[in-house]
Amino acid sequence: MASCKICIIITIAAVFLPSILATEFVVGDETGWTTNFDYQAWAQGKKFHVGDKLVFRYPPETHNVLRVNGTGFQQCKAPTGIEALTNGEDTIPLTSPGRKWYICGVRNHCESGNMKITINVLPELGSPTGSPSPSQTPISAATGSSALTGFCGWIIVAITGIRGMFIV
Ligand SMILES: [Cu+2]
């Protein structure tokens, strides 16, 4: 049962790889969090996953970070009671998948300075509890008779995906 051993090794790798691969995204890279920067262009093409972190870097007291909803993003308004992050090195762990919105709440930086960013967070890498990926279905269907083979197939798909990220 050599294939089973390989399967176990792959499974272990799949469990531990996501934590190794967790990425810290410094918003705006070396520009940081400031006015008149195209954060949508910055976010485009990046893949944010649960377990990754967003870091907002800026001189404290110049800006801040408010997590808002879609409406707050559109209108540059934070709902009352939302506490701003203000320390200038604000790390936000991405804990759930879905769309996230952040704005600067200082004066009119959001409206006039375009200090707003929205990202879409994807499920955790290699997580079996993550939303089912379309590539998962054909494999489990093809090997549906064996639960173990199906599981191995899924792991291989996950690993292939992870490796693909490095190649890109
Ligand atoms: Cu600001």
- Pairing status of strand 53-57 against strand 24-26: parallel
Dist. CA 101 → ligand 1 center (Å): 15
Domain positions in the chain: 2-15+129-167, 23-122
pLDDT digits (tens, 9 = 90+) for 88-143: 999 999 999 999 999 999 999 999 999 999 999 999 987 665 444 444 444 433 34
Amino acid residing at 27: V
pLDDT digits (tens, 9 = 90+) for 137-164: 444 333 434 444 454 445 444 444 444 4
Q: What is the mean pLDDT of residues 40-52?
A: 96
Dist. CA 51 → ligand 1 center (Å): 26
Which contiguous run of DSSP H or E holds residue 75? helix 70-75
pLDDT digits (tens, 9 = 90+) for 3-14: 667 645 555 555
pTM: 0.67
For residues 86 and 51, is the Cβ–Cβ distance under 8 A?
no
Dist. CA 41 → ligand 1 center (Å): 18
162/156 Cα distance (integer angstroms): 10
Q: What are phi and psi of 36, to 5 degrees?
A: 55, 50
Dist. CA 4 → ligand 1 center (Å): 54
23-122 maps to which CATH number? Answer: 2.60.40.420
Dist. CA 107 → ligand 1 center (Å): 7
Dist. CA 1 → ligand 1 center (Å): 60
Which contiguous run of DSSP H or E holds residue 96? none
Task: Please state, rounded to an integer, the average pLDDT across all residues of the chain.
Answer: 79
For residues 119 and 48, is the Cβ–Cβ distance under 8 A?
yes
155/85 Cα distance (integer angstroms): 38
The per-residue pLDDT for 79 is 87
Q: Is 38 helix (H, G, I), strand (E, B) or coil?
A: coil
